[in-house]
Amino acid sequence: MKKNRLYLALLVVFLGAAGFVIIKFRGEERNKKNLVYQLLERKGILAAADEWINTKKSASKLVMAIQANPDDIKSKITLANLFILEARATGNYAYYDKAAMKYVNDVLEKEPGNFEALTLKALLYLSQHHFADGLALAERAEKINSHNAFIYGILVDGHVEMGHYDSAVASAEKMMSIRPDLRSYARAAYLRELHGDYAGAIAAMKLAIDAGAPGDEATEWSRVQLGHLYENVGDLPNAAMHYTIALNERPGYVHAMAGMARIALAAKDYNKAIALYQQADSLGTDFSLKEELVDVYQLAGQREKAIATAKIVIDEMNKNAVAAATDENIGHYADKELAYAYLKISDYDKALAHALAEYNRRPENIDVNETLAWVYYQRGDYEKALPYIKVALKTNSKNPVLLCRAGLIYDKVSDKATAKNYLQQALKNNPNIPEPLKLSSEQALKKI
């Protein structure tokens, strides 16, 4: 009898606890659903941009419209678009991706087949490095509307990230046939670069810039990409010119500042490079800037700062990775980036773990294969690196960093002829590549 009473008491406690958890969960879900995202104040010179005033006015009107009518689908899609653009402008993807995803999901809950919402969700998945999910959603959206250029742009990006390069080219051709504009020219440029056609890539990127409005983020992003193409072919004066134009047209544009930092780095002006990277980093939250800053600190002999900055990058990316595993609205996969970050502090075991995690998600992507090959090389596992660097070279890319790494790997497995070929290709135009890699490649070439 006493046992029965005990069991009954325990059952009551269990049901009460379960009920509390359910109520708490439902309350949290309601809070998420009712949460209203606002624009965050911009930093420094970005806050002085003319567009910022208009952006704030537009966001305020949209938020008020949604609060007045929670079923206002058009306003939710427009606000999600605005947040996506603000993420690009500020580098604060963690916040704005989450904000945009909230409104996109609201729309899809009401209208599961809404084309615009599906395309934006696909775009957000790609932004968060959930490439397979983004590509699947884009393919679903294409079936709803196969005459929309924007969806083919997302398909290009998704296929590239998953390593489906023939499909990426086919999608780019469809996109161009529907609407030859900045977005389609920029993607054509990138695909040409991936296939080793730098002259064609430069020509296409110039068309992208001409198709855009000076000062717009997309235009200046394209101009920065053009500058980087010039860096890869060793034309640093042209690269610097385009970065300077981008900064004049869009003051405070962090990607152009990073470009100028690389130009300073090529001249071994480490103090200037550090100052430019620090200035760019102060304006946004793009961790790629801190990653590049780590390398400059190393070259400048500031090892403690390099290690401290690398650990900040690793901690933040790991936080995002945890978030990505628990909530589709926040965080993104960053294993490829973490692999390189751990290499910077010589933690080869963790670098390998992250490189393998990324490889298992998208084994056909050339950048991922390059990452895994380079991690194995740094570990001294040269034979293991070889098959992955072969895959990384499958599109005939002429990226000088890739070619240097390929040459060094082939040198270590005693294929001297192949090593010499790749190293000569990589260095022939004196491209702007990381100084330690260039030095190692030059030394290896002299010994062959």
DSSP symbol at 213: P
Question: Residue 238's pLDDT is what?
Answer: 98
Residue 193: is its pLDDT beyond 60?
A: yes
CA angle 159, 165, 166 (to 5 degrees): 110
- The residues, ordered by sequence, that sit 6+ positions from 130 with a Cβ below 8 Å of its Cβ are 324, 328, 332, 333
Q: What is the mean pLDDT of residues 157-161?
A: 98
- Please write the tens of the pLDDT for every residue from 235-261: 999 999 999 999 999 999 999 999 999
Quickly count helices (H) and strands (E) in the chain: 23, 0
Band of residue 285 on the pLDDT scale cut at 50, 70, 90: confident
- Please write the tens of the pLDDT for every residue from 290-299: 999 999 999 9
- Please write the tens of the pLDDT for every residue from 201-224: 999 999 999 999 999 999 999 999
Q: Among 2-6, 150-154, 188-192, which is the least confidently predicted range?
A: 2-6
Where does residue 107 rank: exposed (0-12), middle (13-18), buried (19+ CB within 10 A)?
buried
Cβ atoms 88, 217 nearer than 8 A: yes
C-alpha–C-alpha distance, residues 436 and 430, integer Å: 14
Q: Which two tokens stand for residue 428?
A: 């022939």
* Assigned fold of 363-448: 1.25.40
Question: Residue 8's pLDDT is what?
Answer: 53
| Residue ranges covered by each domain of the chain | 52-178, 363-448
CB atoms within 10 A of CB 241: 15
Q: Among 319-323, 349-353, 429-433, which is the least confidently predicted range?
A: 319-323
| C-alpha 228: how far from chain center | 16
Question: Residue 246's pLDDT is what?
Answer: 98
Residue 31: is its pLDDT beyond 60?
A: no
Exposure on the CB side of residue 84, measured as CA atoms within 13 A = 23
Of 393 and 22, more confident? 393
C-alpha–C-alpha distance, residues 116 and 110, integer Å: 13
- Please write the tens of the pLDDT for every residue from 360-380: 999 999 999 999 999 999 999
C-alpha–C-alpha distance, residues 230 and 202, integer Å: 8
CATH code linked to domain 52-178: 1.25.40.10
In the chain, the largest separation of any two C-alpha atoms, in whole Å, equals 91
Same fold, 52-178 and 363-448: yes
Cβ atoms 409, 382 nearer than 8 A: yes
Cβ atoms 185, 207 nearer than 8 A: yes
* Nearest C-alpha neighbor of 76 from the set 111, 112, 41, 100: 100
Q: What is the mean pLDDT of residues 277-291?
A: 89
- Please write the tens of the pLDDT for every residue from 395-444: 999 999 999 999 999 999 999 999 999 999 999 999 999 999 999 999 99
In the chain, the percentage of residues whose pLDDT exceeds 90 is 83
| Residue for token pair 């790991």 | 318
